[in-house]
Amino acid sequence: MPAKTERTAPVRTADDALVRAGRALRLVLLIALAALFLIPFYLLVRNGLASEEEITSAGWTFFPSRPHWSNVRELFADPDVPMAHALLNSSLIAVATTAGTLLLASLAGYGLARIPYRHANAVFYAVLGTLMVPAAVTFVPSFVLVSSLGWVSTLRGLIVPTLFSAFACFVFRQYFLGFPRELEDAAQVDGLGYWRTYWRVVVPNSRPVFAAVGTIVFIGAWNSFLWPLVIGQGRSSWTAQVALSTFTTAQTINLHELFVAATASIIPLLLVFLLLQRYIVAGVERSGIDD
């Protein structure tokens, strides 16, 4: 390390000026890009708090003359827009999907990683194989199955088929393969079987991976659109995304209400996102490339 500073000493002035100019330029560029990236969020809030006339006025103003908080009341009082119910559906679906996926996928991942069984590899490849089948392409056959079960327009139909995430199972398996074996061995010496070892030793020591997979699954479930569009055909089973989409393409729309609705639909997610961001980053890094 000290060698490095000595090396650059003779040419410091010229290089320094260049490096500093480069750094300043990069910072200016980053600030401009960051502003661009934030504009859509700003527009959501600006339009949500503006009156209908201000949204469609040709003279652009950066902020509405005064915040129209009444837009929020109007939205939730509008009988044509079942937004409160749609938000409730989205919450139920996202929470149930996250809880169910974590339970099923973590158990399966642990079994695949740790219980020596003759056909474990075959089972693992059968799970891995479904990762090759893009989920979006299976919406036609899955619709066929769910409709033959009579689950169209039900919460069951929206939740149950999405609970079996090969991706989540895979992440858990890779994680448990690297889990320190000594901890489990100690538990087994104490006479705990697989089941109690799992719940008392493995789960309490694996919170970060549960948080990482959980946030990714939650965000995915909250934002998913194609499946709820296909299955949620009745108004009572609309999710927030389907409801928003339906209003966007409707003949007559109240823009100010629509933007409040959109803002309301991203607030829960932004909270989850900002609170658990480091777990998402960890999860993305772990799942995307490493394995």
Partner 1 sequence: MSAPGSTRRRPRGRERNRALWFWTFVGPFVAGLALFTYVPLAWSVYLSLFDAHNTVSPTDFVGLDNYTAMLGDPAFRSSLVTFAVFTAFIVPATYALSLGLALAVNRLRFAQAFFRSVFFLPSACSYVVAAMVWKLSVFNGVRFGLANTVLGWFGAEPVAWLASTDPPWYWLVIVTVRLWLQAGFYMVLFLAGLQRVPVRLYEAAALDGARPGWQTFRHITFPALRATSVAVVLLLVVGAFQAFDEFYNLLSDSRGYPPYARPPLVYLYYTALGQGQDLGLGSAGAVILALIIAVVTVVQSRVSGLGRKEE
Q: Which of 49, 87, 57, 75 is nearest to 253 (CA)?
A: 75
Binds partner 1 by CB under 8 A, chosen from 17, 21, 32, 145: 145
Using the rule CB under 8 A, which residue among 170, 175, 198, 279 binds partner 1? 198
163 binds partner 1 (CB under 8 A): yes
Residue of 169, 202, 213, 260 interacting with partner 1 (CB under 8 A): 169
Stretch 228-257 residues interacting with partner 1 (CB under 8 A): 229-230, 241, 244-245, 248-251, 255
Q: How far apart, in whole angstroms, are the C-alpha atoms of residue 235 and residue 181?
A: 51
51 lines the binding site for partner 1 (CB under 8 A): no
- The answer to whether 186 contacts partner 1 (rule: CB under 8 A) is no
Of 7 and 204, nearer to partner 1 (C-beta) is 7
Residue 183 tokens read as 């901890």
- Residue 63 found at the interface with partner 1 (CB under 8 A): no
72 is a contact residue toward partner 1 (CB under 8 A): no
How many residues lie near partner 1 (CB under 8 A)? 100
Stretch that binds partner 1, among 68-76, 79-87, 118-126, 203-211 (CB under 8 A): 118-126
Give the CA angle between residues 62, 67, 70 to the nearest 5°: 140
- The whole-angstrom distance between residue 280's C-alpha and the CA centroid of its chain comes to 8
| Segment 188-193 long-range contacts (CB within 8 Å, at least 24 positions apart) | none
Q: Mark 10-49 with x for binding to partner 1 (rule: CB under 8 A) and - for no binding.
A: ---------x--x---x--xx--xx--xxxxx-xx--x--
CA-based R_g, the chain, Å = 25
Using CB under 8 A as the binding rule, whether residue 136 contacts partner 1 is answered as yes
Q: Which of 2, 10, 79, 116 binds partner 1 (CB under 8 A)?
A: 116
At its nearest, how many Å lie between partner 1 and the CB of residue 167? 11
